[in-house]
Amino acid sequence: MSEKKIGMIIGIILILGGWVGSTLAAELKIGFVDIQRAVNECHAGKEAKKTITKEVEKFQRLIVEKQRELQTMKESLEKQAPMLNPEARATKEKEYQAKLREFQRWGEDNQNEINQKRIEMERNISLGLQKVIKKLGEDEGYALVLEKNENIVLFASKSIDLTDRVIKLFDTQKK
């Protein structure tokens, strides 16, 4: 979370604390939600994790296949090298190096693609959770609902943790 957001949250808390009298402070409803836990534990998050895991496993199988191909190519080059003239050997070595670079780029591209999919899935789930949190906050009269973040919320009573309720509402909404 950015320093501006942290400052804004602290400012809101200070303003609310300063303006609200002691009698109203007891009625002030504040809650927090652990968004990361909600993303991981809701049905959509579990399904997204399964999808990503399947993609990673498929990617790992392809890596093993391509590594075998490269190893076979390297072994063949090493066996043939003594019999090849220097020009033919240089050509074969260039082919191997080109295949190796292609494999490395392919691996990086696929890893980036999987990471982008994971980030996009988490972002979409997080946006849905934020809508649920906003509705819950409005419907139940919360003055403030914070995101649990160790850098901001150093301590919060479990009694104001809304995470489980948000997960249930989100899952119900998705069905």
Q: What own/partner pairs with CB < 8 Å and gap ≥ 24 does 104-107 have?
A: 106/66, 107/63
pLDDT (0 to 100) of residue 122: 95
Please tell me the distance from the alpha carbon of residue 162 to that of residue 174, in angstroms, as a whole number. 18
pLDDT (0 to 100) of residue 110: 95
32 touches 162 (CB < 8 A):
yes
pLDDT (0 to 100) of residue 8: 60
pLDDT (0 to 100) of residue 23: 43
118 touches 52 (CB < 8 A):
yes
Q: What is the mean pLDDT of each run of 10 residues along the chain (175 residues)?
A: 60 54 62 94 96 96 95 90 88 93 96 96 96 95 88 84 94 83
pLDDT (0 to 100) of residue 17: 54
pLDDT (0 to 100) of residue 20: 47
pLDDT (0 to 100) of residue 174: 73
Question: Residue-wise over 120-144: b if at least 16 C-beta within 10 A, else e?
Answer: ebbeebeebbbebbeebbeeeebee
pLDDT (0 to 100) of residue 154: 79
Number of Cβ within a 10 Å radius of residue 11: 10
Name the pTM for this structure: 0.73
